[in-house]
Chains A and B, each alone.
Chain A
């Protein structure tokens, strides 16, 4: 076949040229695949002077692709062969593909020849001959292939030879390598103590621990024999490390992060972590309580500091909280099982709650201070109730608004920790307000001395304050209650609440302005009543003394208006002055009425009264009088005890009415002779004018004064009234005398 090589090639080439000239296929599609570079590289691999490192690389690489089940010892050898064989196989495949191509080419040519047969017989002939030649070519190729195989086989055997010759060398290298590693390790272990000490010195505990844990298995295995000294030395070093780490953990000066790291290192050193953990937890608890303390301190600080610094308190608190929270987050990262976040949340819970309550209690203290500060100073000559009232009002509103803005600021800071508690905080603040106003109410009651169970210990001292101060205070309290009910809550506080309305109510809003308003409305009324009662009581004492001291049955003829009227009027005037300071004026003005009804009533009532008194001497006339009098009383009864209103006139009038009623009752308890009766008549006559000036309701005052005279006449054994001219004379004398005594007031 070898002889035919050349002509075959020639033929084929010609044939191809022919075909290409005819159909223009790719001219170089056959032989080009025989690239010698692969052989070269394979040869290069197989050269004995290969680089061991490269070899190692190759080894690792090829391990991945090696056929399973091969003995690792032989792997190297095989691989040398394999890379060769691969090349061969590749070539074989390529050739097979060539053959296939040729086959298809042939078939195609056949087809073409069929087509062209009819057109060109010559062509047909050429085709036929070329086909037969190609056939023989292919046969020739088969022989070539066999030759090739032979070559491959020989190459393989040769490479085997190379391999075996290299094997020993390789093994040796490997051994050397292992020994070197071992030596390194031994070196490392011998160096360990010094290294550890170095680490301790430099504080690189993490490295030290890493070194030690690396060496630990060796110490475990050989520690008793060859490395004893070494082991001892390093263990000592490690002990110092542990000690240092522990110290680090429990030292407060270290940052939380480094402490956490220390814990991790200790854990790696197989230190009994459980005990450590408990210790640490204790420590952390301490830490937490400390945090709490800090918060409390902040809260306290903010409470004890005065107004100017109030604004900054919320900031301080938030700042504190934020610091704490970042710390906590750090701890939480390294020690999730400690549940620090929960702890701190709880702590924050408590702290904020405390803060809220303390804020409110402080505010209450402020308010009561401002109330008592001025009213309490008995000596302070010029203290006006108005000032007290205004100051208290301001304290209430300003204090509440401060608290609100503080908390709003707290919420606006969007601190993580606080955001979690946001709902709670809002609830607390609302609840706080609710409780605040409730306890403010209690405090008011306490201050008024009304709530005696509360004032258990202070009752005595309060009593010492004297009725005067207390009554003033009560008046202020009454007005303050009204203020809170009418404007402070609905306008200021409730309004700002609705502005900051947050959805997070679980049981509905905790702050119910309506309820508070109701409470304060009733409290205000209570105080007003209390105030009126106190004033009346005071005048009652004057009246009582007046009626119990003299012997009315043996009374002497009246010479002048009795002194007690001065006292009585003086008291009323004082009340009027006080009331004037605080309470608003009523809508109805006095002069308005005195022009119309008042004057007519008084002018009419005088002769009527005299008439009555004269007639009352006879039994028949008396019963008649009684009837008319009863009818009158029935008609006007509701007018006497009307509801007290928050106006100057109403309060003063109520007091006058109550006092006159008391007057009547005192009279009813006595028995008078004629002179005693006349004395009462005279006193009442004198009182008539000033009382009508003081009180709003002239008709009722007239009526009540008449009632006193009627009562006196009923209780008189011989009720003969003084003649009007004498009355007038005595009254004028009294007026002149009082003018004389104190001209400036007149």
Chain B
């Protein structure tokens, strides 16, 4: 369990569970995170990766009424986000807007755009459509799926439709298909349910118990990744839903969450209650591997686990890829310490940067190198030195 590069750290005051990538912020790589404190004043932090990529800076700190169980940033407006919160027996979900002039205010208050207050039982999550502007919003509680129409200018959210998941199906979460605005996958105790939002009907079900988290591959249609308590990670091809297409061992304890890379398909991140974050590379489905590189990494065939980041001191519940810089991800362990990790990557542009990267000081730490595309021939000799320098995880995708 070695080899994780030490990440760029940050500290929250309290315990925390959720972190979200601010997708709409195209200028900076920033994340939103909220605390989970039963008795103290909770906070939402807007943190940004400095331009050098060396530290996480707090861009905004806002107080939040109660402990945050779910937080997600609006994919088309960087100032809007949603939270799911509870306090003792009360629970709620709301859409918030970061005040425009928060930098100049002393104690900026979050502006509540809308309250998603049509729930009758414990709310699990709020979903935005990940692929663009969409005035719809989904919220999931233990028993129901609600579709909201959100009018951010009029600051109102209305329940468009509401459907019960059925008796004895306790919903635990869900994911909105980035390829199909009408398709939502929900997880419950014993199965994954696929809903069509137009009809608000359950279209399909995969009987697969103990799913804790679910994520669609944003690049490849029909691909869904699930995280389970004990049995690890499964990749599903929804065209063949009977059996998982692939299976990873997951974590030593529960696999809490999985996130597909927004840019590079097959690259999957998972976090678990064994205080670790694992980076996986799914093997290409047979038949379509268009940009397979010249260099075949032998380890890749046998071990899909690319790297394991283990510098955490408590269970990791929060995980987010940066969609702006898809080689950066942020993780959040329960002790309230968000951590950003940068996977060293050399982009598509050719050999210049890879040789730079190899010779740079940074590479002497055990960092993970992702190289997309083919390797320029003059770099191959440099690559031969990798072992010598002491880097042992190089993957060519």
Give A residues with C-beta under 8 Å from B: 452-453, 456, 529, 533-534, 536-537, 540, 548, 553-554, 619, 626, 630, 633-634, 637-638, 640-641, 658, 661-662, 665, 668, 671, 714-717
B165: min CB distance to chain A, Å: 16
B204: min CB distance to chain A, Å: 18
Bound form: Cα–Cα A619–B15 in Å: 13
Q: Cβ of B89: which chain A residues have Cβ within 8 Å of it?
A: 553-554, 671
B296 within 8 Å of A by Cβ?
no
A456-B243, A537-B230 are contacts. A637–B253 as well, Cβ < 8 Å?
A: no
Q: Cβ of B249: which chain A residues have Cβ within 8 Å of it?
A: 529
A633-B314, A637-B313, A661-B273 are contacts. A626–B335 as well, Cβ < 8 Å?
A: yes
A–B pairs, 14, beta carbons within 8 Å: A456-B243, A534-B230, A537-B229, A537-B231, A553-B89, A630-B313, A634-B313, A638-B1, A641-B252, A641-B274, A665-B253, A715-B38, A717-B39, A717-B88
B351 within 8 Å of A by Cβ?
no
Contact (Cβ within 8 A) B230 A536: yes
Q: Cβ of B230: which chain A residues have Cβ within 8 Å of it?
A: 533-534, 536-537, 540
Bound form: Cα–Cα A638–B276 in Å: 11
Q: Which of the residues B170, B210, B315, B335 comes within 8 Å of A665, measured between beta carbons?
A: B315
Query: What residue of chain B has the Cβ atom nearest to residue A452's Cβ?
Result: B243
B270: min CB distance to chain A, Å: 15
Bound form: Cα–Cα A452–B244 in Å: 8
Bound form: Cα–Cα A638–B312 in Å: 11
A453-B243, A537-B229, A637-B275 are contacts. A671–B254 as well, Cβ < 8 Å?
A: no
Q: Cβ of B353: which chain A residues have Cβ within 8 Å of it?
A: none
Contact (Cβ within 8 A) B254 A665: yes
Contact (Cβ within 8 A) B229 A540: yes
Q: Which of the residues A456, A540, A626 comes within 8 Å of B242, measured between beta carbons?
A: A456
Contact (Cβ within 8 A) B38 A717: yes
Q: Cβ of A630: which chain B residues have Cβ within 8 Å of it?
A: 313-314, 335
Bound form: Cα–Cα A472–B273 in Å: 27
The 9 closest A-B pairs by CB, nearest first: A641-B252, A533-B230, A537-B230, A452-B243, A630-B313, A634-B313, A553-B89, A661-B253, A453-B243
B150: min CB distance to chain A, Å: 28
Q: Cβ of A637: which chain B residues have Cβ within 8 Å of it?
A: 275, 313
B86 within 8 Å of A by Cβ?
yes
Contact (Cβ within 8 A) A619 B335: no
Bound form: Cα–Cα A698–B243 in Å: 40
Q: How large is the interface on B (under 10, 10 to 19, 20 to 34, 35 or more residues)?
A: 20 to 34
B40 within 8 Å of A by Cβ?
yes
Contact (Cβ within 8 A) B334 A668: yes
A706: min CB distance to chain B, Å: 14
Bound form: Cα–Cα A715–B38 in Å: 7
Q: Which of the residues A540, A626, A671 comes within 8 Å of B38, measured between beta carbons?
A: A671
Q: Cβ of B86: which chain A residues have Cβ within 8 Å of it?
A: 671
B12: min CB distance to chain A, Å: 12
New A-B contacts (16) at CB < 8 Å, excluding given A638-B1, A665-B315: A533-B230, A537-B231, A540-B210, A626-B335, A640-B274, A641-B252, A658-B253, A662-B229, A662-B254, A665-B253, A665-B254, A665-B273, A671-B86, A671-B89, A714-B38, A715-B38
Bound form: Cα–Cα A671–B122 in Å: 12
Query: Quick one: which of B235-253 are within 8 Å of A by CB?
Result: 242-244, 249, 252-253
Q: Could you say which of B1, B40, B88, B253 has the most chain A C-beta atoms within 10 Å of its C-beta? A: B253
The 8 A CB mask of B246-278 against A (1 = contact, 0 = none) is 000100111000000000000000000111000
Query: Quick one: which of B53-107 are within 8 Å of A by CB?
Result: 86, 88-89
A440: min CB distance to chain B, Å: 20
B10: min CB distance to chain A, Å: 16
Q: Cβ of A453: which chain B residues have Cβ within 8 Å of it?
A: 243
Bound form: Cα–Cα A715–B315 in Å: 15
Q: Cβ of B39: which chain A residues have Cβ within 8 Å of it?
A: 717
Q: Could you say which of A634, A662, A665 has the most chain B C-beta atoms within 10 Å of its C-beta? A: A665
Query: Quick one: which of B208-247 are within 8 Å of A by CB?
Result: 210, 229-231, 242-244
Query: What residue of chain A has the Cβ atom nearest to residue B231's Cβ?
Result: A533
Query: What residue of chain B has the Cβ atom nearest to residue A665's Cβ?
Result: B273
A456-B242, A536-B230 are contacts. A619–B254 as well, Cβ < 8 Å?
A: no
B303: min CB distance to chain A, Å: 11
Bound form: Cα–Cα A452–B273 in Å: 26
Q: Cβ of A553: which chain B residues have Cβ within 8 Å of it?
A: 88-89
Query: What residue of chain A has the Cβ atom nearest to residue B67's Cβ?
Result: A671
Query: What residue of chain A has the Cβ atom nearest to residue B310's Cβ?
Result: A637
Bound form: Cα–Cα A714–B40 in Å: 11
B304: min CB distance to chain A, Å: 14
Query: What residue of chain A has the Cβ atom nearest to residue B336's Cβ?
Result: A626
Bound form: Cα–Cα A671–B38 in Å: 8
Bound form: Cα–Cα A163–B254 in Å: 132
Contact (Cβ within 8 A) A633 B243: no
Bound form: Cα–Cα A540–B89 in Å: 25
Q: Which of the residues A534, A638, A662 comes within 8 Å of B253, measured between beta carbons?
A: A662
Bound form: Cα–Cα A537–B242 in Å: 22
Query: What residue of chain B has the Cβ atom nearest to residue A455's Cβ?
Result: B243
Q: Which of the residues A540, A548, A619, A665 comes within 8 Å of B40, measured between beta carbons?
A: A619
Bound form: Cα–Cα A637–B308 in Å: 15
Bound form: Cα–Cα A215–B339 in Å: 111
A662: min CB distance to chain B, Å: 7
A366: min CB distance to chain B, Å: 28
Q: Which of the residues A658, A665, A671 comes within 8 Å of B88, measured between beta carbons?
A: A671
A234: min CB distance to chain B, Å: 76
Bound form: Cα–Cα A637–B1 in Å: 12
Query: Quick one: which of B24-45 are within 8 Å of A by CB?
Result: 38-40
Contact (Cβ within 8 A) B15 A641: no
A387: min CB distance to chain B, Å: 29
A128: min CB distance to chain B, Å: 126
Q: Which of the residues B210, B244, B275, B313 comes within 8 Å of A537, measured between beta carbons?
A: B210
Q: Could you say which of B15, B39, B86, B170 has the most chain A C-beta atoms within 10 Å of its C-beta? A: B39
Bound form: Cα–Cα A715–B1 in Å: 30
Q: Cβ of B229: which chain A residues have Cβ within 8 Å of it?
A: 537, 540, 662
Bound form: Cα–Cα A626–B13 in Å: 11
Q: Cβ of A540: which chain B residues have Cβ within 8 Å of it?
A: 210, 229-230
Query: Quick one: which of B291-315 are within 8 Å of A by CB?
Result: 313-315
A92: min CB distance to chain B, Å: 107
A562: min CB distance to chain B, Å: 21
Query: What residue of chain A has the Cβ atom nearest to residue B13's Cβ?
Result: A623
Bound form: Cα–Cα A633–B275 in Å: 10
A305: min CB distance to chain B, Å: 38
Bound form: Cα–Cα A658–B230 in Å: 10
B320: min CB distance to chain A, Å: 20
Bound form: Cα–Cα A540–B209 in Å: 12
Bound form: Cα–Cα A369–B225 in Å: 36
B339: min CB distance to chain A, Å: 14
A736: min CB distance to chain B, Å: 35
Bound form: Cα–Cα A540–B231 in Å: 12
Q: Cβ of B252: which chain A residues have Cβ within 8 Å of it?
A: 641
Bound form: Cα–Cα A553–B170 in Å: 20
Q: Cβ of B334: which chain A residues have Cβ within 8 Å of it?
A: 668
Bound form: Cα–Cα A536–B253 in Å: 10
Bound form: Cα–Cα A456–B86 in Å: 43
A534: min CB distance to chain B, Å: 8
Bound form: Cα–Cα A637–B315 in Å: 11
Bound form: Cα–Cα A430–B62 in Å: 70
B120: min CB distance to chain A, Å: 15
Query: What residue of chain A has the Cβ atom nearest to residue B17's Cβ?
Result: A668
Q: Cβ of A456: which chain B residues have Cβ within 8 Å of it?
A: 242-243
Q: Cβ of A634: which chain B residues have Cβ within 8 Å of it?
A: 313
Q: Cβ of B274: which chain A residues have Cβ within 8 Å of it?
A: 640-641, 661
Query: What residue of chain B has the Cβ atom nearest to residue A548's Cβ?
Result: B170
Query: What residue of chain A has the Cβ atom nearest to residue B40's Cβ?
Result: A619
Q: Cβ of A715: which chain B residues have Cβ within 8 Å of it?
A: 38
A553-B89, A626-B335, A717-B39 are contacts. A641–B244 as well, Cβ < 8 Å?
A: no
Q: Cβ of B38: which chain A residues have Cβ within 8 Å of it?
A: 671, 714-717
The 8 A CB mask of B193-210 against A (1 = contact, 0 = none) is 000000000000000001
